[in-house]
Amino acid sequence: ITGHQGANITHGENFLLAPITPEKTAPKVLLEDAYVFNDMVKPIIQSKCISCHNSQKAKGNLIMETEALLLKGGKNGKLWDLNEAEFGLMLHRLHLPEDAKKHMPPKGKPQLSEEELQVIYYWVKGGADFKKKVMDLPEQDTLRILAASIFNTIETDDYSFAAADEKIIKSLNNNYRVVYPLAQESPALGVDFYGVQFYQPKQLEELLKVKEQVVTLNLNKMPVKDEELKTIAQFTNLRKLNLSFSGITGKTIGELLKLKELKHLSLSGTTVKLSDVSQLNSLKKLTHLDLWNTNVKDEEIKTLLAANKTLIIETGYKGDTDIIKLNAPMLENESFVIDTPVHLQLKHFVHGVVVRYTLDGTEPDSLHSPVYDKNVMLTKNVLVKTKAFKPGWISSDILETYFYAAKIKGDTVINILPADSAFRGNGSRTIIDLVKGETTNFGNGKWVGYHGKKMESIIGFNTSQTVSSVTLSTLIDIGSYIMPPVSIQVWGAGKDGKYRKLNSLSPAQPTAVSPAYLKGFEMTFAPVTVKAIKIIAVPVAKLPAWHPGKGDKGWIFIDEVFIN
């Protein structure tokens, strides 16, 4: 974060233009096999980040080659933090204007597309899980919706072969073998076997009538023998093969090398060894291999992965002795503005978690803080802090969220001094429209900005109102020259039209650059009946010596004035 962005704001450049990126290449995995990190996030890192953050060239001491190194971060700390206003450094840098010195990727390098930015954002927001499959996400999850537009499914994959005769397909169906089209108008077929006691090798051989069209073959828990792999190898368009808990020993596994289109192979519960599955490295399209409960040892899995860096191997969870840190609770409230009482809506996906909360600014603990339930009501300005606990797990980080009460709404706004011409929001009513702004885009019409001159605005009421507090909701983005006001005053006028000072505040000023965050400054006073409220906020006249833009004028940005 540097003074360059502040200069962009000052000079009114269009720093909010979206990044321009080259056309993306289609992923090779199918939707049902895709992992969020490995198949959605990792390709973005490899194409847009790794050239500057690798073991040979580690800008900012940041290497992004492995999961462990991503978690380690660089000289400026962790890459993501759900407690930060922008979820941490990485997202902040990605959303800086492209001309900013600290924008990532640097200007001139391929930029992230809007879709790629969303993938990174929602992955981090969801807890930055390295192991979650796309299909394990809820159907309405934003990442899953994005994935549906990125990946083909096995039903919608591109198939060049002709459809099989419908009469042949019908003749192959019985009570223990089901042959079915994967999708309407698709030539691809799936086959499932049932009834272990009724399985015969001849049933596989009969499928050779449609060997070109069979794309998925499910032989899970069937007594398939090594010799029958020779038959299976004739299904040359096979994408997905499930041999889990079958009679396969690995002796003839080389037959499967004829399946050049194979993407997902399940061998869990068989007696295959490292020497058997190592042969599969020559299957260039194989992306997923299920090997849990086999004779392949954990250290041998590492050997396989080293030989094939694009392969994902599922071995099942064996971390009984690991102590895992919980993700923070998720906030499901759609708005942070309370114009009528609302329920606090929190969620956690780990079974058995206890979520505790506080409303008094203290940190939640596992003994004294109240346990969250759906009956918690929010009625006033409040800082909500929540934390997840579970025996045998490390408690989560704290999720902090400020809710703003808005019980009295102004009817008119007069800006005695206008906002900067580049940042006037959606007009004078921007500060009373009950729409909160974000830290990531202060040029989106939700904010008004003042540079080197004070804000002085009058909020009027059609009928007299009894008021006891006013909150100025602001953005603090130090690297962009946006600082807290040095002073705030609230004045009230009754029916006589004369203004009297109700309260004033001198906010504490930052002492170092930090990620952008939202801050409300509340001023309370004895209840008073007014027809109008005047609010005055004064920006920093000169940025301090430690600031990259030292000596320049500061900005203040306001999205709302809340009156109660």
What domain count does the chain have? 4
- 280 is in which domain, residue-wise? 166-314
Please tell me whether residues 376 and 498 are part of one structural domain: no
Given a cut of 90, whether residue 329 has pLDDT beyond it is: no
User: Of 351, 381, 405, which one is at a domain's C-terminal end?
Assistant: 405
pLDDT digits (tens, 9 = 90+) for 504-556: 999 999 998 888 888 999 999 999 999 999 999 999 999 999 998 889 999 99
What CATH number does residue 213 fall under? 3.80.10.10
What CATH number does residue 359 fall under? 2.60.40
Residue in the structure block whose two tokens are 């004035």: 561
Among positive and negative, which fits the CA dihedral 76, 80, 84, 89? positive
Among positive and negative, which fits the CA dihedral 156, 157, 162, 167? negative
Q: Out of 1-5, 176-180, 345-349, which region has the weakest mean confidence (pLDDT)? A: 1-5
Contact assessment for residue 6 and residue 483, using Cβ atoms and an 8 Å cutoff: no
Confidence bin at 8 (pLDDT 50/70/90) = very low
Given a cut of 50, whether residue 9 has pLDDT beyond it is: no
Question: What phi and psi, each to the nearest 5 degrees, are found at residue 284?
Answer: -65, -25
Please tell me whether residues 424 and 558 are part of one structural domain: yes
User: Of 376, 405, 434, which one is at a domain's C-terminal end?
Assistant: 405
Residue 500 located in a structural domain: yes
How are strands ordered across the β-sheet holding 177-181?
177-181, 189-193, 214-218, 240-242, 264-266, 288-290, 312-314
pLDDT digits (tens, 9 = 90+) for 404-419: 999 999 999 999 999 9
d(CA 54, CA 37): 18
d(CA 130, CA 66): 11
Please tell me whether residues 132 and 11 are part of one structural domain: yes
* 407 vs 66, residue with greater confidence: 407
Confidence bin at 394 (pLDDT 50/70/90) = confident
Residue 161 located in a structural domain: no
How many whole angstroms from its chain centre is CA 534?
40
Please tell me whether residues 352 and 422 are part of one structural domain: no
Greatest mean pLDDT among 145-149, 409-413, 441-445 lies in 409-413
Residue 438 located in a structural domain: yes
**243 CB-contact burial (10 Å; exposed 0-12 / middle 13-18 / buried 19+):** buried
Please tell me whether residues 351 and 285 are part of one structural domain: no
Please tell me whether residues 110 and 178 are part of one structural domain: no
Look up the pTM and report it. 0.47
Taking each helix axis from N to C terminus, what angle separates 114-125 and 142-150, rounded to the nearest 10 degrees? 140
Residue 323 located in a structural domain: no
Please tell me whether residues 374 and 421 are part of one structural domain: no
Please tell me whether residues 547 and 417 are part of one structural domain: yes
Q: How far is CA 414 from CA 306, 459, 470, in A?
A: 66, 7, 17
Please tell me whether residues 456 and 545 are part of one structural domain: yes
Biggest CA pair distance of the chain? 99
Please tell me whether residues 9 and 47 are part of one structural domain: yes
Residue 160 located in a structural domain: no
Give 102-161 as a 3 state SS string.
CCCCCCCCCCCCHHHHHHHHHHHHCCCCCCCEHHHCCCCCHHHHHHHHHCCCCCCCCCCC
Residue in the structure block whose two tokens are 């590492």: 302
Please tell me whether residues 214 and 112 are part of one structural domain: no
pLDDT of residue 156: 63
Residue 322 located in a structural domain: no
Q: Out of 7-11, 40-44, 66-70, which region has the weakest mean confidence (pLDDT)? A: 7-11
DSSP 238-290: --EEE-TTSS--STTGGGGGG-TT--EEE-TTS---HHHHGGGGG-TT--EEE
User: Of 267, 287, 314, which one is at a domain's C-terminal end?
Assistant: 314
Amino acid at the residue 417: L
Give 310-337 as a 3 state SS string.
CCEEECCCCCCCCCCECCCCEECCCCCE
d(CA 110, CA 107): 8
The number of C-alpha atoms within 13 Å of 235 and in the hemisphere containing its C-beta is 27
Residue 157 located in a structural domain: no
Please tell me whether residues 343 and 291 are part of one structural domain: no
Q: In the numeric block, which tokens belong to residue 459?
A: 């909020």
d(CA 537, CA 563): 16
Residue 319 located in a structural domain: no
Q: What average pLDDT score do residues 279-290 get?
A: 89
